[in-house]
Amino acid sequence: MASGAAAGGGTDFLGVSALAYLEGTAVSETRSLVAELCRQFYTLGWVSGTGGSITIKVYDESIPRPHQLIVMSPSGVQKERMAPEDMYVMSGDGTVLSAPSPKPYPNKAPKCSDCAPLFLKAYGMRNAGAVIHSHGMESCLVTMLHPFSKEFRITHMEMIKGIQGHGYYDELVVPIIENTAHERELTDSLSAAIAAYPKSTAVLVRNHGIYVWGDSWISAKTQAECYHYLFDAAIKLYQLGIDWTSPSHDHLTGCQVSTRITGLPNGNLANNLTRQCIVLDIEGTTTPISFVTDILFPYARDNVRKHLMLTYDDQETKDDIKLLHAQVQDDLEKGISGSVPIPSDDVGKEGVIDALVANVESMIRADRKVTALKQLQGHIWRTGFKNNELQGVVFEDVPEALRKWHADGIKVYIYSSGSREAQRLLFGNTSYGDLRKYLSGYFDTTTGNKRESQSYFEISFSVGVDEPSQILFLTDVYQEAVAARAAGVEAIISIRPGNAPLPENHGFRTITSFSEI
């Protein structure tokens, strides 16, 4: 057995002798598996030049996953030549229990992977069973296609089905964080990305590579293969001039449409604008405010307790509760009215749910635009749409406008305070059918506050336009239009029944129907 910090038999893991556990079949097989996968990934170009790493939890159904041992490949070694005894074995909290013995020159002294802090974040925040860090060329180059974008997006590709929680028609969104000189310095930005993108199973590091996790090593490996395929496809489509982010995969040059705008409030003409993208608000723009306030919000409020009771032990709901915990704690510190402390699990499931329901109801009454609420509402609404208790509502001019813009090669995106999932549900289940085929992507509060100009800069980076002015933003909210204009985005205000009145001399063009665009 390799040398280690816990080679003795005095330490127990939930009643299991440390020595017996470390020398057991499960750990031995996992060591061998990591070595085998490293050899395989080397042939794929994922771990060449000693880069990249793999870690797998030692499965034992009698031990909760957070307490299961971790096997991790070392740093700075030839990955294709590693043997089972070269692996580090760690406890669930990252304590090294077994380290490899030194090898003679020219081998370097053993060193735990520099990725270890990042792996532990994926384990802790996603309850993962395995994490893969690849330096595959595709995962590096794809972050350079739009060097300021904070996300990689792709849709309508078969291999998207291989990513957990996604189907062919879904848009796959992978966050991109900026590289640093030392891998461990990525820990905070990786944590922030994991928290901001609860549906993602990967994080890209610009000019570097990707971290992918899954419930098991098979899940992580399968998804890593699918991600690399999709990245390679995006790069090749880019070379062919084809837009991988559009459902119809139009030619990139085909999305530039010259549009003449007349009749602006200030009397000026904006001639020969090259409009590449249209970004739509939902409430009061594509959809009556009454649908949101009188149908969606009450449905979420009336079903929140039932939803939490039925799904309390599901990982998705656990993630929702974790986000709510963080939001409520912040609200309490700021003295937000209606916030109540959420007790620990010791009080029992019903006590925790009582506090969660109280906070959610207060947030709904105040129409809070916070990710924790919007994400939970989206999951509740998903059940409503699935059970045919809800149907998406859009104004009658919206479907035809979406069809026309799509036919003209203009990419259309949604930017709403509702979660991306809620957006897809609404447009995927309307009385006019599934309208998602006309949409190229979705933005929500993870992009930023809709009343802050930085959010519109982020969107312009993500959709890949040369200038923010190539984007048209349609909204019913004056403050959002102001923020978009400050970022250089063209903004038009939607006047619909039930919308709030606008300030006098607001200075924006207004429309009452999308047919006016």
Q: Binding site for substrate: which residues?
A: 115, 416-417, 450
151 catalytic, yes or no? no
- Cα–Cα distance, 466 to 93 (Å, whole number): 45
Catalytic residue among 23, 85, 138, 158: 158
Q: Report the DSSP pairing between strands 88-90 and 171-177.
A: unpaired
3-state SS class at 174: strand
Those residues with Cβ within 8 angstroms of residue 202's Cβ, 6 or more apart along the chain or in another chain: 174, 210, 211, 212, 213, 223, 224, 227
Looking up tokens 């039925």 gives 310
Give the residue numbers of the binding site.
115, 133, 135, 208, 281, 283, 416-417, 450, 476
Q: Which helix (H) or strand (E) holds 399?
A: helix 398-407
Q: Report the DSSP pairing between strands 202-205 and 96-98.
A: unpaired
- HSE-CB at 317 with a 13 A cutoff on CA atoms is 16
Looking up tokens 């899954």 gives 214
Nearest to 365 by CA among 320, 319, 304, 312: 304
Those residues with Cβ within 8 angstroms of residue 466's Cβ, 6 or more apart along the chain or in another chain: none
Sheet holding 171-177, edge to edge: 96-98, 88-90, 70-72, 53-57, 130-134, 209-214, 202-205, 171-177, 151-155
Q: Which helix (H) or strand (E) holds 36?
A: helix 25-43
Give the residue numbers of the binding site for Mg(2+).
281, 283, 476
Helix and strand totals (H; E) in the chain: 15, 19
Beta strand ranges found along 362-456 (DSSP E): 411-415, 441-443
Phi-psi bin for 95: left (phi > 0), alpha (psi -120 to 50), beta? Answer: beta
Catalytic residue positions?
158
